[in-house]
């Protein structure tokens, strides 16, 4: 059990962050949270977002924070999430187009 203690502790901390995010609708900066728990932030945002999505929650990673947009049965939340994703992709596409022109 001892060799796995650090990973168990990390998963427990990430679960606390996930629950706080669900309760508040938006998580704090993951870098601040992981630093306060003294755990690695590598892959933390992706792990938490995936856990929330697996539970049917529409979660959006915005830099180092996670925002709850609703759940998969919530039409307004789904529209907001899809719109935010479309805006993000459009910005990336515009950036790519501008880089290719130069």
What residue segments make up the domains of the chain, in order of their start?
2-101
Q: Could you report the per-residue pLDDT of 1-46, keeping only the tens digit for each?
A: 677 888 899 999 999 999 999 889 899 999 999 999 999 989 999 9
- Say what the pLDDT of residue 98 is: 82
Q: Taking the mean position of all CA atoms in its chain, how far away is CA 37?
A: 18
The topology (CATH level 3) of 2-101 is: Arc Repressor Mutant, subunit A (1.10.10)
């Amino acid at each position: 059990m001892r060799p796995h203690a650090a990973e168990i502790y990390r998963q427990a901390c990430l679960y606390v962050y996930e629950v706080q995010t669900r309760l508040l609708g938006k998580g704090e900066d993951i870098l601040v949270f992981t630093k306060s728990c003294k755990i690695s932030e590598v892959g933390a945002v992706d792990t938490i977002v995936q856990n929330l999505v697996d539970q049917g929650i529409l979660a959006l990673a915005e830099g180092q924070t996670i925002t709850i947009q609703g759940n998969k049965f919530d039409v307004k939340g789904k529209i907001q999430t899809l719109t935010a994703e479309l805006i993000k992709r459009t910005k990336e596409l515009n950036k790519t187009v501008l880089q290719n022109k130069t």
